[in-house]
């Protein structure tokens, strides 16, 4: 064990003068900008707060919509809302709760918590965080705003085609607003997920091996990984959907070979993991709260980790249970029935871990624990009805009825909203230095708990009595008037309880004194936070040897606060944090994270406008803003990334010297590229899935009389791709070995090769005159080749960027992050190009 | 704090009595899945009651357990007990329960999806009503379109009791879902596909059904009726439906044709042969109007002709309120007489 005192060679941390100097420098470096410049802040603490706040406001908005629906359904044949408005209300309610509340609240809470939990000063890409937030903000306001113009989407939150793809069924821009607005938000969510994964893998305090990570961080890893693989199929689906709406490519139109069920597959491959993306973070919050109030470490740490990872994997094998009534063969129904039930086991493990921890500890009462208990009581009902609806024969009755509405609200409110409220109560002092009122918490809890059950329990019976979901009214003779009236009353009681919570949160608390440090006497790192908080995160980056350092490492808080660990100072006036290795968390280098900037805000607004203009088919403006957004992003990269430090390494304290620049797998940028490209590859595989799906659906695919893209041009394209890929790799090696001129030449050649590759790939279907509007086969081929060609074009820009960096002296043989990341990108594109050619050219020959 | 049994038990009894009466109320109703009149609905209702009983027991167990682990002061072996609790309560117990359930539930399916031994009926879900054709050719295998022909009707499906009737489902526009809760679970009607549902009604009567997949603003008003009758009566009904309209001459059909109604509606025996809307050959014989949202009468027929969107927002039929009042009444009267 290394006690911080040993081997200390730097400044004397016991000297208060030395410490005061360090603190002043740290405070200055990490200070949030004031006044109007506040919006240029990129620090995880500020951006995280905006993010949480915005998500909560969207949640309240969606809640008000829900109350509107409950008023409409209070009595049979009511006319409070028209059918049209009611459809917009339920579509928007589901969409906002899912995409603008449930996912962002996890990502935003994690942005705030993660650096604290990991003993890091900041996540690796603060400006990317800010970009993701602003994208979310712009996209969310756009989507929500549409309802005030009566132009909101109204196809239900899963937007089944052909209802939503064809103008004659759904006139107007509603579906486009949904698709483009949400695609934009989904991209932001993906960006944040990449940030969270890299943060968890690379920004842990030295010594925090994977099996010492706080459980919350494990959940972040699992959930962000699920987002990474679950969102791309939906984005691919969105692209197909929008191509059909904008250009009439018939992916979901059965009259030209398409199939509406493909959308359901793509949507639910996303949609089912999504449920766990929402539920697991809530469990993660409980995994932090329960040990604190049971006054002991969690029992069964490895059980929880295994259960979380297991749930993540299983959740990708369940999507068909949303499609039991689409007439699938009995054998697949049986398989998915069994698979859906299996998930009860890891879920049971996670719940029983908490019960076991309470059993082995001495539980004390607190508001977070009250909400946790409420969550348990509600969620267990949701889980049990989940076991019921996963049974195929029962689901034939319950599917698309109010039983499902009841089930999903028990799961989401018990498995997400209550734990989030518990988490907000728990973490409020960490962020603001003051607790929320325990009394208000109690008064909020009971109406919420009782009102929730009054509102949603009767819905089980409304559903079994024959009430389908998404009906704007129902007849008296259906016999569901009484349960509906009860539900409406319950909904208002629930809302009143939630209002008490919100009012307590927003009321001014100037007179309330700050809490003592670690006010709940917790054991995990985030409670190092000073009261009131300091912007620097941790005073010094500690060495971690246990799972609950505040309980298990003696004198820990004092050593950290006295700056006796790493990076106690900001000598060069830069924001710095330590990067460690993925498994063992050995220090690898110091990363300098960027400070405040307006660029992410500008880039996000411009990118948002691209999507908004495209919604209304203003193509000229769309093109212009796309170019502008691209230029701003390149400016951002040029000025703010891969900066060459003024010295190769620095002393971080305790006798340790770390490099300031590393490329390849030791750098966070490389990991971000690697992880992003996995998401990108998943989207591409979703298109290939579409191709093979149509192949299995049709007896003749390609349809008779249609000539595919041929063999010649795609083969040439594959060759050019391979050569370009090799040249890019070669340029990296030449640059590393100091042959800069050769490297520059190769970069130029590779850039030209990229364009040639894209051109030849597109030439195949063009030369054989494949018409994407005529049939789904040419449309699918075109989508695949355009996707790869676009990636090649972006790869060309990347190579030219590297060339320019090299010429400008911003990239040298020793400092080659840019080229190293671009080469990594090309590995993925090379692979995609080969898969694309094999599918569109070779596969039809083989069958 | 946990109440002593003396106080608790009577209270529990009251709660149980209330629950039972609430459930009994839920059982009844023409739309209810818990008042079964078909083989599948019957089995599923049993499955539901069994699962419900199990779920209630498990929930009470978890809550009592939660309370006791919170209250209990940990003893010496607490850590070991806690680990055992995770293993047995968290992993083994749910594992056993879901295994039993899957074996039981999946085991039910082959019997529920046995092949048909009765007639084949084609049902097309259309915005926002049901096109029905009796006695179509079933045929095995995957087909992409409903078989043509058959005896056409709309919004009221007659079924023979005790026979397994095959229902072929599709849609020309958007996805709908065919659901008669008292008889069987639902099955989607999907454009470009034909899905199959075999139903076996076990008692006679009239049962209500609804579209269960959101299909547009009027989704809530897309309902239907199922009339379950003995086999002979079924055969007689289909034979009667195959007949041309009862009255094909006179002022009614004349005005009907002159106003253009025949462009969308068929009345067999008259030149009206439109295929867009429901077949009206025997409309007066049906018990409801406008996809089972209104009782059938001359008045409701007239109201519907005047302003369909008023009764059924989003309906695709245009309003004919511009026709003179007496003409509307004559048409309605004629339609009402077509039994």
Q: Pick from B178, B206, B223: which residue ends a domain? A: B223
Q: Is B48 within the bounds of a domain? A: yes
B140 and B277, same domain (yes or no): no
Instruction: Judge: B181–A380 Cβ closer than 8 Å, yes or no.
Output: no
Residues A235 and A249: their CA atoms lie apart, in Å, by: 17
- Give the end-to-end CA distance of chain B in Å, rounded to a whole number: 68
Q: Is B235 within the bounds of a domain? A: no
Distance from chain centroid for Cα A253: 31
**For residue range A599-658, what is the model confidence (pLDDT) as tens digits?**
999 999 999 999 999 999 999 999 999 999 999 999 999 998 888 999 999 999 999 999
**For residue range A290-333, what is the model confidence (pLDDT) as tens digits?**
999 999 999 999 999 999 999 999 999 999 999 999 999 888 99
Distance from CA of A250 to the nearest CA of B (A): 13
Quick one: pLDDT at residue B26? 56
Quick one: pLDDT at residue A1? 41
Nearest-CA neighbor of A44 among A115, A149, A143?
A115
Kindly state the average pLDDT of the residues A759-769: 94
Query: What residues in A contact B215, CB-CB < 8 Å?
Result: 163
Q: Is A392 within the bounds of a domain? A: no
Quick one: pLDDT at residue A142? 94
**Torsion angle (degrees, nearest 10) of CA A775, A776, A779, A785:** -130
Q: What's the domain range around B122? A: 1-72+114-223
What's the structural domain count of chain B? 2
Quick one: pLDDT at residue A443? 97
Quick one: pLDDT at residue A236? 96
Portion of chain A with pLDDT greater than 70, in percent: 99
Q: Is A830 within the bounds of a domain? A: yes
The ipTM value here is 0.92
Of B89, B102, B220, the CB nearest to A471: B220
Q: Is A812 within the bounds of a domain? A: yes
Q: Is A771 within the bounds of a domain? A: yes
B295 and B189, same domain (yes or no): no
Q: What's the domain range around A755? A: 684-846
Burial A457-494 (b: 16+ CB within 10 A, else e): bbbbbbbbbbbbbbbbbbbeebbbbebbbbbbebbbbb
Q: Pick from B223, B241, B262: which residue ends a domain? A: B223
**For residue range A162-176, what is the model confidence (pLDDT) as tens digits?**
999 988 898 888 899
For an interface test with B, give the residue of A464, A477, A698, A701 to mutate (most B CBs within 10 A): A464
Instruction: Judge: A337–B106 Cβ closer than 8 Å, yes or no.
Output: yes
For an interface test with A, give the residue of B33, B41, B86, B313 to mutate (most A CBs within 10 A): B86
Query: What residues in A contact B30, CB-CB < 8 Å?
Result: 466, 477-479
Output DSSP code: residue B126. Answer: E
**For residue range A665-691, what is the model confidence (pLDDT) as tens digits?**
989 999 999 999 999 999 999 999 999
Residue with the bigger pLDDT between B23 and A259: it is A259
B160 and B300, same domain (yes or no): no
B68 and B129, same domain (yes or no): yes
Between chain A and chain B, the number of residue pairs with CB atoms below 8 A apart is 277
- Band (pLDDT 50/70/90 cuts) for residue A120 is very high
Q: Is B270 within the bounds of a domain? A: yes
Query: 10-residue block means of pLDDT along chain B (339 residues)?
Result: 60 69 67 93 94 95 94 88 94 95 91 92 94 84 78 94 95 95 96 94 95 94 95 96 91 92 93 92 92 92 93 89 93 93
Q: Is A314 within the bounds of a domain? A: no
Distance from chain centroid for Cα B326: 37
The pairs formed by A6-11 with CB atoms below 8 angstroms and a separation of 24 or more are A7/A654, A7/A655, A8/A564, A8/A653, A8/A654, A8/A655, A9/A654, A9/A655, A10/A568, A10/A651, A10/A653, A10/A654, A10/A655, A11/A568, A11/A569
Query: What residues in A contact B144, CB-CB < 8 Å?
Result: 254
Kindly state the average pLDDT of the residues A9-31: 89
Which A positions 152-181 lie with beta carbon below 8 A of chain B? 154-156, 160, 162-163, 169-170
Neighbours of A740 (CB within 10 A): 15
B136 and B275, same domain (yes or no): no
pLDDT of A3 above 60: no
B195 and B262, same domain (yes or no): no
Q: Is A760 within the bounds of a domain? A: yes
Quick one: pLDDT at residue A172? 87
CATH number at residue B7: 2.60.40.420
CATH number at residue A778: 1.20.120.80
B255 and B219, same domain (yes or no): no
Of B30, B78, B175, the CB nearest to A163: B175
For an interface test with B, give the residue of A93, A297, A359 to mutate (most B CBs within 10 A): A359
The radius of gyration computed from the CA coordinates of chain A, to the nearest angstrom, equals 28
Instruction: Judge: B109–A387 Cβ closer than 8 Å, yes or no.
Output: no
Output DSSP code: residue B123. Answer: E
- Kindly report the average pLDDT of chain A as a whole number: 93
- DSSP H/E element including A575: strand A575-580
**For residue range A341-371, what is the model confidence (pLDDT) as tens digits?**
999 999 999 999 999 999 999 999 999 999 9
Residues B314 and B305: their CA atoms lie apart, in Å, by: 15
Neighbours of A755 (CB within 10 A): 16
pLDDT of A247 above 50: yes
pLDDT of A2 above 60: no
B218 and B257, same domain (yes or no): no
In chain B, which residue's Cα lies nearest the Cα of A169? B216
B28 and B120, same domain (yes or no): yes
What's the structural domain count of chain A? 1
Quick one: pLDDT at residue A11? 81
Residues A801 and A175: their CA atoms lie apart, in Å, by: 37
**For residue range A522-543, what is the model confidence (pLDDT) as tens digits?**
999 999 999 888 888 899 999 9
Quick one: pLDDT at residue A675? 96
- Band (pLDDT 50/70/90 cuts) for residue A515 is very high
Residue pair B228/B208 in contact by the 8 Å Cβ criterion = no
What pTM value is reported for the model?
Answer: 0.94
Distance from CA of A334 to the nearest CA of B (A): 6
Query: What residues in B contact A472, CB-CB < 8 Å?
Result: 217, 219-220
B30 and B165, same domain (yes or no): yes
Instruction: Judge: B179–A468 Cβ closer than 8 Å, yes or no.
Output: yes
B193 and B278, same domain (yes or no): no
Quick one: pLDDT at residue A187? 87
Q: What 3-state DSSP class applies to A326? A: coil
B50 and B138, same domain (yes or no): yes
| DSSP assignment of A64-117 | HHHHHHHHHHSSTT--SS-HHHHHHHHHHHHHIIIIIIIHHHHHHHHHHHHHHH
pLDDT of A402 above 60: yes
């Amino acid at each position: 064990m290394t006690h911080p005192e040993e081997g200390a060679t730097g400044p004397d941390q016991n000297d208060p003068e030395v410490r005061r100097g360090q603190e002043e420098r740290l405070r200055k470096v990490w200070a949030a900008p004031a006044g109007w410049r506040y919006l240029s802040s990129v620090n995880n603490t500020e951006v995280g707060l905006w993010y949480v706040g915005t998500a909560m406001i969207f949640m309240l908005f969606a809640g008000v919509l829900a109350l509107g629906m409950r008023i409409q359904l209070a009595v049979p044949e009511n006319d409070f809302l028209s059918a049209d408005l009611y459809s917009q209300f339920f579509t928007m309610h589901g969409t906002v709760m899912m995409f603008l509340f449930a996912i962002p609240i996890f990502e935003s809470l994690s942005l705030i918590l993660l650096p604290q939990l990991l003993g890091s000063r900041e996540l690796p890409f603060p400006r990317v965080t800010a970009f993701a937030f602003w994208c979310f903000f712009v996209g969310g306001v756009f989507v929500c705003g549409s309802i005030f113009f009566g132009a909101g989407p109204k196809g239900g939150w899963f937007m089944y085609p052909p209802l939503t793809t064809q103008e004659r069924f759904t006139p107007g821009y509603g579906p486009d607003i949904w698709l483009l607005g949400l695609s934009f938000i989904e991209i932001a969510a993906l960006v944040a997920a990449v940030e969270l994964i890299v943060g968890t893998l690379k920004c842990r305090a030295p010594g925090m091996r994977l099996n010492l990570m706080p459980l919350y961080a494990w959940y972040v890893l699992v959930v962000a990984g699920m987002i990474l693989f679950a969102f791309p199929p939906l984005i691919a689906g969105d692209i197909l959907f929008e191509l059909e709406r904008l250009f009439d490519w018939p992916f979901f139109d059965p009259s030209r070979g398409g199939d509406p069920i493909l959308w359901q597959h793509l949507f639910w491959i996303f949609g089912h993991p999504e449920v766990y993306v929402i539920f697991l973070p809530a469990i993660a919050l409980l995994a932090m709260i329960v040990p604190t109030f049971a006054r002991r470490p969690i029992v069964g740490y490895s059980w929880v980790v295994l259960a979380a990872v297991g749930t993540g994997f299983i959740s990708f094998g369940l999507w068909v249970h949303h499609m039991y009534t689409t007439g699938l063969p009995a054998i697949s129904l049986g398989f998915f029935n069994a698979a859906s039930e299996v998930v009860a086991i890891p879920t049971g493990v996670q719940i029983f871990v908490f019960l076991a921890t309470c059993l082995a500890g001495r539980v004390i009462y607190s508001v977070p624990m009250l909400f946790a208990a409420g969550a348990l009581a509600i969620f267990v009902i949701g889980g049990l009805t989940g076991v019921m609806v996963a049974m195929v024969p029962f689901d034939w009755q319950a599917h698309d009825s109010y039983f499902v509405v009841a089930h999903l609200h028990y799961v989401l409110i018990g498995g997400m909203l209550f734990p989030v409220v518990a988490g907000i109560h728990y973490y409020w002092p960490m962020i603001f230095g003051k607790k929320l009122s325990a009394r208000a918490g109690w008064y909020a809890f009971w109406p919420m708990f009782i009102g929730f059950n009054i509102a949603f329990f009767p819905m089980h019976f409304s559903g079994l009595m024959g009430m389908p979901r998404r009906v704007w009214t129902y007849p008296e003779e259906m016999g569901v008037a009484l349960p509906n009236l009860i539900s409406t009353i319950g909904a208002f009681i629930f809302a009143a309880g939630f209002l008490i919570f919100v009012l307590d949160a927003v009321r001014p608390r100037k007179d309330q004194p700050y809490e003592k440090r670690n006010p709940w006497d917790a054991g995990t790192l985030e409670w190092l936070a000073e009261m009131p908080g300091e912007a620097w995160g941790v005073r010094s980056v500690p060495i971690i040897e246990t799972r609950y350092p505040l309980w298990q490492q003696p004198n820990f808080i004092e050593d950290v606060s006295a700056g006796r660990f790493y990076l106690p100072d900001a000598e060069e006036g830069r924001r710095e944090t330590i990067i460690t290795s993925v498994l063992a968390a050995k220090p690898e280098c110091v990363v300098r994270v960027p400070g405040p900037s307006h660029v992410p805000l500008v880039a996000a607004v411009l990118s948002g406008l691209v999507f908004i203009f495209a919604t209304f088919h203003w193509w000229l403006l769309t093109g212009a803003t796309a170019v502008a957004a691209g230029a701003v992003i390149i400016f951002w990269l040029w000025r703010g990334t891969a900066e060459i430090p003024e010295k190769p390494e620095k002393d971080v304290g305790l006798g340790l010297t770390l490099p300031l620049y590393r490329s390849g797998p030791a750098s966070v940028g490389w990991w971000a590229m690697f992880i992003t490209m996995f998401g990108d590859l998943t989207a591409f595989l979703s298109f290939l899935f579409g191709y093979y799906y149509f192949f299995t659906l049709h007896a003749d695919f390609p349809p008779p009389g249609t000539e595919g893209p041929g063999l010649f041009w795609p083969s040439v394209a594959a060759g050019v791709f391979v050569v370009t890929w090799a040249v890019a790799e070669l340029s990296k090696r030449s640059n590393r070995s100091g042959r800069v001129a050769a490297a520059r030449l190769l970069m130029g050649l590779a850039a030209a090769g990229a364009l040639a590759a894209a051109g030849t790939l597109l030439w195949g279907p063009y030369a054989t005159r494949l018409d994407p509007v005529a049939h789904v086969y040419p449309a699918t081929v075109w989508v695949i080749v355009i996707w790869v060609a676009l990636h090649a074009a972006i790869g060309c820009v990347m190579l030219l960027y590297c060339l320019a960096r090299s010429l400008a002296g911003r990239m040298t043989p020793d400092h080659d992050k840019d080229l190293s990341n671009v080469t990594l990108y090309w590995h993925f594109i090379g692979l995609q190009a080969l898969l694309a050619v094999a599918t569109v050219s070779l596969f039809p020959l083989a069958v | 704090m946990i109440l002593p049994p003396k106080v608790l038990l009577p209270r529990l009894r009251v709660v149980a009595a209330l629950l039972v009466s609430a459930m009994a109320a839920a059982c009844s109703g023409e739309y209810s899945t818990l008042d079964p009149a078909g083989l599948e609905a019957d089995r599923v209702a049993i499955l539901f009651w069994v699962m419900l009983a199990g779920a209630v027991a498990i929930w009470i167990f978890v809550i009592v357990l939660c309370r006791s682990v919170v209250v209990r002061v940990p003893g010496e072996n607490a850590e070991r007990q806690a680990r055992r609790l995770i293993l047995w309560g968290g992993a083994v117990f749910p594992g056993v329960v879901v295994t039993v359930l899957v074996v039981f539930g999946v085991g039910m399916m082959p019997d529920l999806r046995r092949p048909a031994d009765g007639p084949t009926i084609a049902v097309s879900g259309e915005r926002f009503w049901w096109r029905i054709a009796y006695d179509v050719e079933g045929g095995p295998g995957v087909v992409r379109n409903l078989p043509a022909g058959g005896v056409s009707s709309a919004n009221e499906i007659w079924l023979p009791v005790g026979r397994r009737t095959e229902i072929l489902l599709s849609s020309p526009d958007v996805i709908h879902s065919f659901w008669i809760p008292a008889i069987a679970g639902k099955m989607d009607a999907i454009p470009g596909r034909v899905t199959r549902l075999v139903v076996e009604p076990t008692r006679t009567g009239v049962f209500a059904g609804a579209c269960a997949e959101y299909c547009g603003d009027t989704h809530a008003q897309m309902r239907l009726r199922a009339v379950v009758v003995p086999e002979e009566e079924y055969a007689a009904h289909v034979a009667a439906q195959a007949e041309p309209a009862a009255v094909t001459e006179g002022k009614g059909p004349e005005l009907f044709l002159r106003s253009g109604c025949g462009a969308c509606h068929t009345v067999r025996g008259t030149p009206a042969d439109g295929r867009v809307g429901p077949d009206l050959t025997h409309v007066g014989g049906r018990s409801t109007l406008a996809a089972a949202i209104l009782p059938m009468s001359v008045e409701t027929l007239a109201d519907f002709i005047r302003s369909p969107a008023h009764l059924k927002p989003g309906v695709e039929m245009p309003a004919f309120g511009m026709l003179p009042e007496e003409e509307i009444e004559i048409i309605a009267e004629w339609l009402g007489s077509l039994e």
